[in-house]
Amino acid sequence: MTSKPLVVGLILVYFIIAVHLTLKIDGVDSFRSSVSRWKRQIPFFSSWWGSSSTNKPDNVRRSSYHGSSKQGHSSNSYVSFLPDKLPSYQNRSTSTNNGKGVSERDSRFLSLFTLVKFDNSECLSTSGDNGTCFPQAECYRRGGAVNGRCAKGYGACCVFSKTCGASTNQNGTYFTHNGLTNPGGSFDGTGSCQLTVYKCSPDVCQLRLDFDSFVLAQPSINGICNNDQFIVSGASTAVPIICGVNTGNHMYIDVGVDNSPVTISMVTSGPTYSRSWKIKITQIKCRDLGKAPEGCLQYYRGVSGVIRSYNFDFTSGQQLSNQDYTSCVRVERNFCGIRYTACNDNVQFSNIQPTTTQRSRAFFLTGQGQTGSVTGANQCPTDWITIPCATNSGRTQQSGGAVCQDRICGDVFNSETSTNPSPVYSYVKPFRIHYHTDGNETGDTGNRGYCLNYIQQPCSIIR
Ligand SMILES: *[C@@H]1O[C@H](CO)[C@@H](O)[C@H](O)[C@H]1NC(C)=O
Ligand SMILES: *[C@@H]1O[C@H](CO)[C@@H](O)[C@H](O)[C@H]1NC(C)=O
Ligand SMILES: *[C@@H]1O[C@H](CO)[C@@H](O)[C@H](O)[C@H]1NC(C)=O
Ligand SMILES: *[C@@H]1O[C@H](CO)[C@@H](O)[C@H](O)[C@H]1NC(C)=O
């Protein structure tokens, strides 16, 4: 006959071994092997563990893991051994371990611990940044900072932030000028501040950069980023060099199928300037539905939205030279066309153009030298946007009977020659705007690039 203290002592030993092994679980890939090793080594656990649980909260699964069972997205989940907190626990304890040497009164002791699995999903940290939900130890191991809880309190909201000279292989890393733990301040050095981004998984094909904040020096009068430059190298498609203010904008970068890293650099030089940036880097799997089509530097979803060229700003922005990129809009279900209008510009300019026309600065590609909207390849040889088969009417012909236009430039947004802006329609899928500028802004002062509102057009509209 075993005495009660001996049974309790044995259980304690099991727990110490189990906790020790849990701490050794070091990644998603080793999860299954660790679990089966664990079950082999602690046979008593496998039966206790194999019992079913009920009342699972969202994204948090209790310990019903069987080595062979498939629970959907279990490849993206973790185990931790944590003090039990879930209110539904009592329902499980009575059904466990019958005839396995643990009596029911001992199950009260087991309830001190439970095994929890949760998705490594995005979480909102206490500081307002987005993190990933990990067990606390896993977060530290990956070089993150614990900032709040997630998964009903079982996980730590893990925020990754890196600054000059660092590298990362973590999804959702923030690249900042000074690190998230030291907010504020500015970067006034000269040189190159760069982050090397390694794929967090081999099946990553794309990065999305969210410019939560992006303040670099403005380009030269010619639109050339000759003091400050944002440079992406190692991408599989060409990424233009940008500078100026791009807060709130975003960028997609194709990274190809090999495992070479991408380097994101902030090159700063010239006069003193109060620079700052905070760029969130999300890694996107090749087969992720959220992946942008190849070659789309900007990608917008939703029936309506706003598309801005880089460094667009009504008051202080300036068109960047040597740009060549495509902005794409996902064709939403049951939509066949798209309507673009220049953004509202409350701050109409009066000193550059004749005050009688009071044009908007929301579309200003070849200003001053041009008057009004200009269309066609011959008329727009330097800076332009391309909207496939653009018309004001929404039909394939312009009002005068001419065929639709692809190329638009000038300082008024209109697919016909005019001094007044007009909505412009395109019924060519996919919905794309290509933007081209050359390296010469001589005589072109005042150019800002463009800001266009888009609204997708239902297929039912008779054209
Ligand atoms: C236990 O399960 C019963 C039904 O099976 C349910 O009504 C009850 O709410 C559960 N108790 C807890 C604490 O979750
Ligand atoms: C990175 O995180 C985002 C947001 O949580 C997620 O949608 C994406 O699938 C993750 N990427 C990878 C490669 O896991
Ligand atoms: C966090 O993620 C959510 C959902 O993806 C997004 O709407 C939100 O803007 C993000 N917040 C930050 C601070 O990035
Ligand atoms: C730049 O544009 C101006 C005005 O159009 C032109 O006179 C000049 O030759 C151009 N310079 C170069 C290098 O193309």
List the chain domain ranges.
Answer: 4-118, 186-281, 296-463
In a mutational test of the pocket of ligand 4, which residue from 222, 368, 440 has the highest number of ligand atoms less than 8 Å from its CB?
Answer: 440
CATH topology of domain 296-463: Jelly Rolls (2.60.120)
Q: Is the pLDDT of residue 354 over 80?
A: no
DSSP string, 256-307: -SS---EEEEEEE-SS---BEEEEEEEEEETT-TTPPPTT-SEEE-SSEEEE
Mean pLDDT of 171-196: 83
Q: Is the pLDDT of residue 77 over 80?
A: no
**Coil, strand or helix at 85:** coil
**Coil, strand or helix at 358:** coil
Model pLDDT, residue 114: 58
Per-residue confidence band for 360, with pLDDT thresholds at 50, 70 and 90? confident
pTM: 0.76
Q: Do 186-281 and 296-463 agree at the fold level?
A: yes
Q: Is the pLDDT of residue 91 over 60?
A: no
Q: Which ligand is nearest to the CA of 55?
A: 1
For the chain, how many residues are written? 463
Are the C-beta atoms of 116 and 85 separated by less than 8 Å? no
For 186-281, CATH number out of 3.90.1150.10, 3.40.50.800, 3.40.1390.20, 2.60.120.290 equals 2.60.120.290
* Ligand 2 pocket member 171 (CB < 6 A): yes
Q: CA 63 → CA 82, 92, 175, distances in Å?
A: 11, 10, 37
* Ligand 1 pocket member 52 (CB < 6 A): no
Whose CA is closest to atom 9 on ligand 2?
A: 284
How far apart (Å, rounded) are the C-alpha atoms in residues 28 and 121? Answer: 14
Q: Which ligand is nearest to the CA of 209?
A: 3
Q: CA 457 → CA 55, 61, 331, 334, 399, distances in Å?
A: 45, 43, 10, 9, 19
* Ligand 1 pocket member 88 (CB < 6 A): yes
* Ligand 4 pocket member 222 (CB < 6 A): no
Model pLDDT, residue 436: 96
Whose CA is closest to atom 6 on ligand 1?
A: 91
* Lowest pLDDT segment from 15-19, 278-282, 452-456: 15-19
Mean pLDDT of 431-444: 89
139 CA from centroid of ligand 3 (Å)? 20
Q: Is the pLDDT of residue 231 over 50?
A: yes
Q: Is the pLDDT of residue 14 over 60?
A: yes
Whose CA is closest to atom 10 on ligand 3?
A: 130
Query: Which pairing describes strands 324-329 and 298-300: parallel, antiparallel, or unpaired?
Result: parallel
4 CA from centroid of ligand 1 (Å)? 30
